[in-house]
């Protein structure tokens, strides 16, 4: 992802961290998204993600994951 300048942000890892912080499980997230938990494990490994999926996860966790990308635009030196 370095070609996009966002190599410092692995969105899947941030989703995993927020899920754990809220005390929710991968199984819970999979049920909410209507998929199998193995798909959630694949999401955790992603450096990028479909915006529709990210929006849905943001709503489920009441956490603005898009803000993480915005912060890279406004404060790139703090993330890289």
**Segment 30-78, tens digit of pLDDT:** 999 999 999 999 999 988 899 999 999 999 999 999 999 888 888 766 5
Domain that holds residue 33: 2-75
Report the distance separating Cα 19 and Cα 32, nearest Å. Answer: 13
CATH number of the domain enclosing 37: 1.10.260.40
Structural domains of the chain, count: 1
Is residue 58 within 8 A of residue 66, CB to CB? The reply is yes
| Positive or negative: CA dihedral 29, 7, 3, 67 | positive
Q: Is residue 24 part of a domain?
A: yes
Q: Is residue 80 part of a domain?
A: no
Tell me the pTM: 0.82
Q: Is residue 37 part of a domain?
A: yes
The arithmetic mean of pLDDT across residues 12-19, rounded, is: 96
**Predicted pLDDT at 10:** 85
């Amino acid at each position: 992802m370095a070609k996009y300048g966002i190599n410092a942000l692995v969105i899947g890892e941030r989703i995993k961290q927020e899920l754990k912080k809220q005390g929710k499980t991968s199984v819970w997230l999979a049920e909410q998204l209507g998929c199998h938990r193995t798909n959630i494990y694949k999401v955790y490994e992603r450096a990028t993600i479909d915006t529709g999926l990210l929006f849905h996860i943001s709503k489920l966790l009441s956490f603005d994951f898009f803000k993480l990308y915005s912060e890279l635009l406004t404060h790139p030196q703090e993330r890289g």
